[in-house]
Amino acid sequence: DTEVTQTPKHLVMGMTNKKSLKCEQHMGHRAMYWYKQKAKKPPELMFVYSYEKLSINESVPSRFSPECPNSSLLNLHLHALQPEDSALYLCASSQDLIRSNQPQHFGDGTRLSIL
């Protein structure tokens, strides 16, 4: 088990549904990330939050909407997804973006299937 907790572990949803992925860490990290990983491919960065503010949005479609309600939580709201959005969604956190050079630690991911 990792120190970054993601829920749910699996999610199946239709293209008209609205759902949310959740990520939580209690390591006092101030940088949090969402990645998308397709089968047999490396993770691809989607969003970066630093001190609860959106720092990077890697040209992600608006059907993905991130939210960072506090320093421990990171959500990814999903709406009107497409079948090609089926993937493993990974959350990661690190101590800080700027001042410290520390590794990112990943959660176990949410495996998302769009019907």
Partner 1 sequence: EDKVVQSPLSLVVHEGDTVTLNCSYEVTNFRSLLWYKQEKKAPTFLFMLTSSGIEKKSGRLSSILDKKELFSILNITATQTGDSAIYLCAVSGWGSQGNLIFGKGTKLSVKP
The radius of gyration computed from the CA coordinates of the chain, to the nearest angstrom, equals 13
Determine, following the binding rule CB under 8 A, whether residue 39 of this chain makes contact with partner 1: no
Q: How far apart are CA 29 and CA 38, in angstroms?
A: 26
Determine, following the binding rule CB under 8 A, whether residue 56 of this chain makes contact with partner 1: yes
**Nearer CB in complex with partner 1: 42/83:** 42
Determine, following the binding rule CB under 8 A, whether residue 31 of this chain makes contact with partner 1: yes
**Nearer CB in complex with partner 1: 82/102:** 102
Determine, following the binding rule CB under 8 A, whether residue 7 of this chain makes contact with partner 1: no
Cα–Cα nearest to 32, from 89, 96, 102, 78: 96
Which among 16-24, 51-59, 68-76, 78-86 is the span making contact with partner 1, rule CB under 8 A?
A: 51-59
**Where is 91: in which H helix or E strand?**
strand 87-94
